Amino acid sequence: MADEEQVVRLTDQIANSLTKAHSTMKAVADATHEFDRVMGRPLEDVRALPQLAKNVRKAEAGGRVARNGTERDDADDLVRGGSRSAQVTAGQLVGQLGGAQRELDKLRQEIERSSKLLEGGAKALDELERLPGRKTPETENLRSRLDNFRRGVDAAGTGLGQAIGRLETARRTAAAFEVRPMAIDDSGRVSGAIETTASDLKTEVKAARAGLDSLTKQVDQDQPNAHQAAARSVELANAARAGLNPTQPSAQRATAGNAEQDLRHREGIQSALRGLDR
């Protein structure tokens, strides 16, 4: 009896770990779909900078051909105004990118949570298979699915970390430009600075967005295997529990009490991005 109770305990632990990890990664997948849309906003602001640079370049050219002090002052005012507008736009980007980073970091924490859950499930499966006669084709099938699930979660975590890094580089670039002293003249240095900043920001923001697109596809692609791994773990737990107590109603099986909790957890993650779209 002690051995059977240990089997029930371990299979319950495996099932709980995998179903919670599956629920968490499903919520992460839903949230990354939202981020694809949200990340379009910083990219639109980045795209505004080249036009500002063009306006400033035109004003700088006007200053170089000014016929008197008044015309030169007018040209300098246009350069100054364009410079200020570009720096204000950069300041807006600092806030947008910082907010995106914080929300992505919440998803990173959820992915880490899934990884730890799967690690716990794998250890419980190791312990189960060490028991006499408990390494079966069913446990080997479950291990294969669990290992694939873990690799997908690890890949998602790596991809998300890279996207966060790209956003941090972009945020620092925008922050530095926002406070950069600008010498207002007709040399072309102001328009050049705006163009260089715009190019650097576009590179990083586009790379972050592409990384998030890839992450979304990866998590979506892993969902069927994650679902099957969770389902197999529940079947294993139910079989063990039925063996211990054949008269137990199916409604009281190992993971029946988790559905509502997992639903609330998914809804909590999915709401993480809503504030960014207001």
Each residue's pLDDT tens digit, 149-201 = 999 999 999 989 999 999 999 999 999 999 999 989 889 999 999 999 999 99
CA atoms within 13 A on the CB side of 266: 17
For residue 81, being part of any structural domain is answered with yes
Of 275 and 5, the structure prediction assigns the larger pLDDT to 5
Which of 43, 22, 60, 29 shows the shortest CA–CA distance to 198? 43
Query: What confidence score (pLDDT) does residue 139 get?
Result: 92
Q: What is the pLDDT of residues 221-268, one digit of tens each?
A: 888 889 999 999 999 999 888 876 655 554 444 443 454 455 455 555
pLDDT of 99 over the 80 cut: yes
For residue 79, being part of any structural domain is answered with yes
Lowest mean pLDDT among 88-92, 122-126, 230-234: 230-234
Which of 106, 108, 132 shows the shortest CA–CA distance to 271? 106
CA atoms within 13 A on the CB side of 222: 29
Distance CA 47, CA 236 (A): 54
For residue 278, being part of any structural domain is answered with no
Whole-model pTM? 0.81
Distance CA 162, CA 210 (A): 11
- Burial of 269 (C-beta count, 10 Å sphere; 0-12/13-18/19+): buried
For residue 137, being part of any structural domain is answered with yes
CB distance 126 to 146 below 8 Å: no
For residue 246, being part of any structural domain is answered with yes
For residue 267, being part of any structural domain is answered with yes
Distance CA 243, CA 133 (A): 14
Instruction: Count up the domains in the chain and report the number.
Output: 1
For residue 239, being part of any structural domain is answered with yes
Query: What confidence score (pLDDT) does residue 20 get?
Result: 93
Query: What confidence score (pLDDT) does residue 78 get?
Result: 95
CB distance 165 to 17 below 8 Å: no
DSSP-derived letter for residue 251 is G
- Domain span at residue 159? 2-273
| Section 1-16 average pLDDT | 85
Residues sharing a CB contact under 8 Å with residue 253, sequence separation 6 or more, in sequence order: 234, 237, 238, 241
Residues written for the chain: 278
Angle at CA of residue 190, ends 187 and 193, nearest 5°: 120
Q: What is the pLDDT of residues 39-63, one digit of tens each?
A: 777 888 888 999 999 999 999 999 9
